[in-house]
Amino acid sequence: MSLFGKNIKKIRGVKGLSQQAFADLFDLKRGTLGAYEEGRSEPKIDTIILIANYFSIAIGDMLTADLTVNQLLRFNEKLTLTPEELEREQFAQIPCITQKTADDYIEYYDNEAFLADLPKLTLPLNTEKEFIGYTVTNLEMTNHDKGLYPKDVVIGEKVPKNVITKLNNGTVVIAVTDKELILRRLYVTDKGLVLRADHKNIEDITVDKKSVKQLWRVCYVFFRRLPEFSDSFEDKLAMLELQMKELREK
C-alpha cells in the first residue's frame, strides 16, 4: 500500500483545505478522497500525476515517502502560509448547530456532508477530541436572571455511550434523541436519563439511554452578553478595605 493517502491528508492540513475543497480542486468526489486517505482505495495514475504536479512534488515521493510538514512547505509557494495561518491551522474546527439546523441535525447528525456545511468555530482546543457547538434557543437553562440565554453558544465534548451513565449528576449536556435536541442537566436514575432544566417551571424529560443518539458534555460557553460578576459580601468587604487603605494613604 502506498503512502499517497497519508500524504494528501498532510497536504490538506498544511494548506488548510477541507476534504470537499481538496476534492473540488481535482474534480474528485469527497467520498473518493476519503477512501484514498483511509487507505481503502488507491487512485488512478492520472490522479496521482495531477496532484503531484499541482503541488510540485515528485510522484515517487507522493507514493513512497512519509512527507513532513517542513518538506511540504518547501515544495511549492502555493503551500506557503503566513505564521498566523500556521498557528490557526492548529486550532480545532468545530461545527456549530444553529436554530435553523437543529431539526436537520437530529436526522443527519452522522452525515459528513451535512456536518461539513455547518458553520465552524475555530478554537484552540484539543484537535484529537470531538466537539460540537450549539446556539442556545430558549430560556430553559436560566434561573433568577442567571444562566444561558438565547444566542449564547455552548461547546460540548462528545461522550462515548458507555460513559454516559458515569457522568456526575448535574452535568450540563446536549442530548440528541430520536425526536429532539435538548440542552439541560443530566441525572442518571433507575428509570432512565433525566434531563432537567434550571428554570423551575420547566418539567423534567426522562429518556431511555438507548434512545440517545449522541451526548455532548458542555465544557465551554460563549455569552452573548457580559455575564453578571460576583457581588458577594466578601467582595464588598474587600472593596471597602481597599477604599479605607486609600483614604489612610492620602
**29 grid coordinates:** 468526489
Q: What pLDDT sits at residue 57?
A: 85
Banded pLDDT at 80 (limits 50, 70, 90): very low
Average pLDDT over residues 202-231: 86
Q: What pLDDT sits at residue 248?
A: 67
What's the pTM?
A: 0.57
Please, which residues bridge with residue 143 across strands? 146
Average pLDDT over residues 128-151: 92
User: Per-residue pLDDT for 169 more than 50?
Assistant: yes
Residue-wise pLDDT for 88-107, tens only, equals: 456 788 999 999 999 999 99
* Most confident stretch, 44-53, 76-85, 111-120: 111-120
Q: What pLDDT sits at residue 238?
A: 67
**36 grid coordinates:** 484514498
User: Per-residue pLDDT for 166 more than 80?
Assistant: yes
Instruction: Identify the CATH number of the domain defined by range 4-89.
Output: 1.10.260.40
Break the chain into its structural domains and give their ranges: 4-89, 92-222
Q: Which residues make Cβ contacts (< 8 Å) with residue 175, sequence separation at least 6? A: 181, 182, 183, 184, 186, 193, 195, 207, 212, 214, 215, 216
* C-alpha span between 28 and 19 (Å, rounded): 10
The tally of CA atoms less than 13 A away on the side-chain side of residue 45 is 1
pLDDT greater at residue 241 or residue 210: 210
CATH class of 92-222: mainly beta
Cα first-last separation, the chain? 79
CA dihedral 175→146→97→161, nearest 10 degrees, is -20
Residue-wise pLDDT for 23-62, tens only, equals: 888 889 999 999 999 888 888 888 888 888 888 888 888 8
Helix (H/G/I), strand (E/B), else coil: 71: helix
Q: What pLDDT sits at residue 77?
A: 47
Average pLDDT over residues 121-126: 86
Separation of CA 238 from chain center: 40
The tally of CA atoms less than 13 A away on the side-chain side of residue 67 is 30
Average pLDDT over residues 7-32: 87
User: Per-residue pLDDT for 193 more than 90?
Assistant: yes
